[in-house]
Structure 1
Amino acid sequence: MSAPQQSDVLIIGGGIMGCASAFFLRQRGLSVTLLETDLVGRQASGTNFGNVRRQGRPLYQLPLANRASAIWRKARELLETDVEYLQRGHMRVCYRDRPDIAAKMESYAVEAAQSDLDLEMLSGNALRDRFPFLGPEVMAASLSAQCGHANPRLAGPAFARAAQRLGAAIHENCKAVSASRDGIDFHVVTDDGRSFRAPTLLVTAGAWAKAFVEGFGETVPLTSRGPNMCVTEPLPYAIGPSIGVATPETVESVYFRQVARGNLVIGGSIQNQTFPEQYRVYVNPANSLGQWRQMQRLFPAIARVNIIRTWSGIESYLPDDQPVMGPSGSVSGLFYAFGFSGAGFQLGPGVGETMAELIATGSTDIDLSPYRIGRFAEG
């Protein structure tokens, strides 16, 4: 085994959470080493829909989402590269058979305004005039003009490169197989025999975080699912906001966005089975066909469009659909940020800045109590 490599902070997991944390930790002057089993941003952070949305989140999560949005808006300057962030809005729609959902959207808009999220409610002719392509079942919509979308395949690696320019050590194809507390330091060993030490450990390992959590004597009911994704042939650019269906029915929950090149990126509906031990997930054709049928309810003209690629990834989920984020409940110097339940991409930069603030100063203005890991031990 080689001599241990020492740093101030050691990060396990190179998705957008880990890479953004490394970047902001370096901005604060702490030395950082990040270990990624595969390539940075290749798992959930690179295979998701790319939504940069705030609406639809719990109200207590909006301060974190707002912090993230401020970073997304300056991402090109901050990261010195284009992550294809487009601030074209985000819109949730509901169908005519669910007037209760429309009422909830109205109520949410009033409450969210107190957290600096301005939502415009649309229905009737006003909705049809602005979005004539929506299907006849669509009854109402909630539009957030200050949200948007970005390219998930670019964002995680962009944060990693920016962190490297500031001096972070990013190790790809470097699988952490054990993590322990050894005196004042954490000691992490990789599958190729390398050894790393730091007084602070941050676990951002997504669907693979559970083994590390349990290794430190804590418990977390983490599971994984695979998003069902596809992209169409390019069309003339005309859509603007990313659009999704607000519904309690998983099968109906489709969403789409149009990139600058004209392609439509589509996600939602039934998810795929994952095999995290093998780092594999397979797209179920039945899920794709069901998703396509639901998309035709939302956007009937799409029936004449060709799909050119499908894919999936491995996302981590928790029973309450809220992440674990913040300090360990039992081990000093140990921190977590994982389990974002399919809704973490937009939050990623804000999570990184918040975790860096917490690690560097011992506190943060963001309320992390809803995300404490102890909530699962408490039942």
Structure 2
Amino acid sequence: MSRAIVIGGGLHGMSTALHLARMGWSVTLLERRHVGRHSSGINAGGVRRMGRDVREIGLSVASAEMWADIKGLVGDDCGFVANGQFKVAENEADLKKAEARVAEVRALGWTHEEVVDRDELRRLIPAVAPHAMGALATRDDGAADPMRTVMAFRRACVEAGVDLREGIAVKGLDRAPGGGVRVDTDAGPMEAERVANCAGAWAFALAESVGEKVPGKAKASMMIVTERVEPFCAPTVGAMGRALSFKQSAAGTVVIGGGHQGRNDIAMETSTVLFASLAKAAVVATELFPIMRGVKMVRSWCGIEAMPPDQIPVIGESATLPGLFHSFGYSGHGFQLAPAAGRAVAELMARGGTNLPIGPFTQARFSQAVAA
């Protein structure tokens, strides 16, 4: 039986391990802390195709098909509801931007995005502020419960035979004497024919340890959750001209984000909320939803994740260590991509190729940019 090691117990690592195990591989997944410790378990849970970099749309559409039957994949619906995603246009400039976006996407052959006018927006989201003029929309996008999704993938991995080891840190990578890849850990060395680097914000260092410099940095997107209020908003809402991610959970709490950044410390594996910056998200939320004025914040947090300079992921085999495959750099929007990206990486590792559209994500794009 062919043997693989997956480094990193976030959703992308677990998705890769799950698909590999179901292809008949013997898979060991190594996680330094516990699964979902950083961004996978504490993000906003957005399941969206809308508004993506056009290079991501193909993979996102493929993943949306998998989310439609997520219970079939991992044995749990992960709290996924397809109540729509909307980016509100607050002025004429925003509305023109939304219209241009739809035209761009449709010129590429995709039809999932549309512009809704003021009346339709108000019919769908009655609580939105009166000044809203319309929105960019994808009606069958939605959201899921991040930690429920993490635990569903964990259970599915274990049931598929993945040897999931938490509390083991990877120290370095090298060629194995007999071929394949050696993984040095604090529990001793391990070897495998194929290794996946799904280590999130720490994946840059792993790549560099084998002589492969991938540019990028860590980010720490902040989130707010409020007290429970009566239901008033089913879709997930953003803004065309301002940073906002806004959704109300089934329990009535409201989760607010949008990419406002906290402080992170990679070495210590910690992140810190910066309240002055986080307040900007609260201001946008109350201006788009006046009903939120006076609602109490209950807690806030941020999770560490990897971000290349072009903010799209790095997926592909290492150019310096054959048998090592990268999957990281999802830049705060990898949650929805995890089912399809995991399958793509597993197929690359097991078969040497995949039909899933991952061509734009190879790390070679950075060396090509330097050459140009």
1:376 matched residue in structure 2:
366
Deviation digits for residues 146-165 of structure 1 (CA, Å, limit 9, x no counterpart): 11101111212321220111
8 Å CA contact 1:256, 1:264 repeated in 2: yes
Candidates 33, 36, 41, aligned match of 1:41 = 36
Alpha-carbon distance in 1 for matches of 2:355, 2:2: 26
8 Å CA contact 1:20, 1:156 repeated in 2: no
Alpha-carbon distance in 1 for matches of 2:227, 2:79: 18
Alpha-carbon distance in 1 for matches of 2:299, 2:6: 33
Q: Runs of 5+ in structure 2 lacking a partner?
A: none
8 Å CA contact 1:232, 1:307 repeated in 2: yes
Alpha-carbon distance in 1 for matches of 2:123, 2:347: 45
Q: Secondary structure at the match of 1:44?
A: coil
Residue 111 of structure 1 deviates from its aligned partner by 4.2
Alpha-carbon distance in 1 for matches of 2:72, 2:166: 25
8 Å CA contact 1:45, 1:156 repeated in 2: yes
Residue 116 of structure 1 deviates from its aligned partner by 4.5
- Count residues in correspondence: 367
Deviation digits for residues 230-262 of structure 1 (CA, Å, limit 9, x no counterpart): 111122233111001123xxxx30111111111
Candidates 10, 17, 21, aligned match of 1:26 = 21
Candidates 160, 172, 185, aligned match of 2:180 = 185
Tell whether 2:271 aligns with 1:277. no
Residue 199 of structure 1 deviates from its aligned partner by 1.0
Q: How large is the Cα RMSD of the aligned pairs?
A: 1.7
Distance change in 2, residues 1:117/1:261 (3 Å): farther
8 Å CA contact 1:269, 1:287 repeated in 2: no
Q: Secondary structure at the match of 2:41?
A: helix
Report which stretch shifted further, 115-124 or 351-360. Answer: 115-124
Deviation digits for residues 6-34 of structure 1 (CA, Å, limit 9, x no counterpart): 96111111100000011111111111111
- What TM-score does the superposition give when structure 1 sets the normalisation length? 0.92
Report which stretch shifted further, 198-207 or 264-273. Answer: 264-273
Q: Secondary structure at the match of 1:266?
A: strand
Candidates 190, 199, 205, aligned match of 1:211 = 205
8 Å CA contact 1:42, 1:153 repeated in 2: no
Equivalent residues in 2 for 1:86-97, closer than 5 Å: 86-96=81-91
Equivalent residues in 2 for 1:289-300, closer than 5 Å: 289-300=279-290
Residue 143 of structure 1 deviates from its aligned partner by 1.6
Alpha-carbon distance in 2 for matches of 1:52, 1:59: 16
Alpha-carbon distance in 1 for matches of 2:132, 2:77: 34
1:50 matched residue in structure 2:
45
8 Å CA contact 1:63, 1:115 repeated in 2: no
Candidates 313, 328, 331, aligned match of 2:303 = 313
Tell whether 2:121 aligns with 1:131. no
Residue 366 of structure 1 deviates from its aligned partner by 2.4
Report the residue type matching 1:202 in the other structure.
A
2:165 matched residue in structure 1:
171
1:262 matched residue in structure 2:
252
8 Å CA contact 1:179, 1:189 repeated in 2: yes
Q: Secondary structure at the match of 1:292?
A: helix
Tell whether 2:101 aligns with 1:108. yes
Q: Secondary structure at the match of 1:47?
A: coil
Report percent identity of matched pairs: 33
Alpha-carbon distance in 2 for matches of 1:93, 1:103: 12
Deviation digits for residues 270-302 of structure 1 (CA, Å, limit 9, x no counterpart): 310101110100111212222211211111110
Report the residue type matching 1:365 in the other structure.
N
Q: Secondary structure at the match of 1:197?
A: strand
1:286 matched residue in structure 2:
276
8 Å CA contact 1:227, 1:272 repeated in 2: yes
Q: Runs of 5+ in structure 1 lacking a partner?
A: 1-5
1:3 matched residue in structure 2:
none
- What TM-score does the superposition give when structure 2 sets the normalisation length? 0.94
Q: Secondary structure at the match of 1:87?
A: coil
8 Å CA contact 1:354, 1:364 repeated in 2: yes
Residue 63 of structure 1 deviates from its aligned partner by 1.6
Equivalent residues in 2 for 1:341-356, closer than 5 Å: 341-356=331-346
Report the residue type matching 1:106 in the other structure.
E
Report the residue type matching 2:14 in the other structure.
C
Tell whether 2:321 aligns with 1:331. yes
Candidates 229, 234, 244, aligned match of 1:235 = 229
